[in-house]
Structures are given as structure tokens and as C-alpha cells.
Structure 1
């Protein structure tokens, strides 16, 4: 192979690598995702997003949460911008627990995508409960 062709192929490979598509917040607005288990959340769960709706299904094969725990939650998404949303439980699709009602009555969870690495985004979710703010962090990955 001629030196020119080798240099051209090398340049092409470097260019393709440098300009490979990076995921953005918009890539996480719709589709199927999963939340891996970690220290804060010992169970993983699946998330399905479409438009302003989200379904969350907890993976609890050992029934750690008990037989009465509803492992599927329906959530309404209010997109504030491409990386920030407010999440509230959808009372039209499920019977809300007292905790879920309390979340909704206090304006839901404000969730911000903090950074994207690979096929996952790291988030910070806050809940204002009168005079205190609860914060949770984690990551959500594209399937």
C-alpha cells in the first residue's frame, strides 16, 4: 500500500474516532433504560420513557420489598429543559401510597442530568419537603 493511502486511512480513522457521536441529554428523553443497583439503591430497575410518561419497574426477584409493594410505578414527566425534569406519580394510572401522595403534593422530584459517560447519565434528584431538602444521586443507562 502506498504511504499516501496509509496516511489517509490513519487520518480517516482518527477523524471518525474524534467525531464519534456523543450522547446528549436529548438521547435520554425517550426509550428503555435501566438503573443498576448501588449502595443507595440495592435493587435495580427498568425505566421506559415515552413523551411525558415514564414507567418504572423494580427488579426484585427475592421479594425483598414484600408481597404488598407495588413494583411498577407510573410517572408524569414535566420537561423543564433538555437536561432537567420534574417527576410526579401518575394518579390516573395507579393508586398512590401516602408517600407518593406526599411527593406529589410537594411538587415532585426535580431531576437534573449532571454528566454523561458512555451510555449512562448521572443524575441528582431533589425533593423539597417543607423546611428540608432531600437529595438522591444515581445513574441511568440506555439499554
Structure 2
């Protein structure tokens, strides 16, 4: 909606952000949402890294909050406040799952994918190009 979201963010049950104001937050993995995370001001995670990244989208408050790296086995809870006035939508892998008041994010314990690349694709070189752009 046109309203700024008010979000509480907890990591492993401990509140880390209270009533953060902005457009939303992104939880990304080394294999997913990397381009979106970069667009929001985060650095790309190395492929194969065992971590998640939590990135704010147009966060107004707290004013100096920056993207953070988290261990891959954490549980992130995002809870929307005042949803009657500020409804929040959630997207999972680009799919709109509708309006939510609380979202819990963790690595799957059962699902997995294996990516294949052509021999001519140097993924590490591509990542370095993103991390160290030419001037």
C-alpha cells in the first residue's frame, strides 16, 4: 500500500529491530535474490557461502541500519505492526503469497537444488565483477 511498513524483526527469537519503518525487508541466500539484494545496497554473497543476508528496502528508521549477514541456520521472524492501517504483502521466490502479519524464514531442512553451469560460465569471475565494478 502507500503506507510505510512498521516491522519487528527477530533472529532466533531475539528482537533485533523494533518498529523499523520502510518499504520492507529481504532475506536472501547466496543462490537467490542476489540481484535484488544488490539493488537494495547489499554486497553479493559468494556462491556456496553458508549464510543468509537481511536487507532493508528504503528503511527510514533506524536511519543507519545496513544489510547484515546471518548464519545459514538462523530463524528470521518478520512481524508487521498496525496491519489494519499498513497492510503488508509477502513474496516468496517472486511469488505473491498475499497479505501477512507475520512471516517466518529459515533454510529448508528437506528441499535442495543442484545448479548446473556450462564450462564457459565462470561464476566466480561474474561475482567478482559485481563486487568490484569498473570505474
Taking structure 2 as the reference length, the TM-score comes to: 0.28
Larger % of strand: which?
1
Greater CA radius of gyration, 1 or 2? 1
Q: Does 1 or 2 have the higher relative contact order (CA < 8 Å, sep 6+)? A: 2
Larger % of helix: which?
1
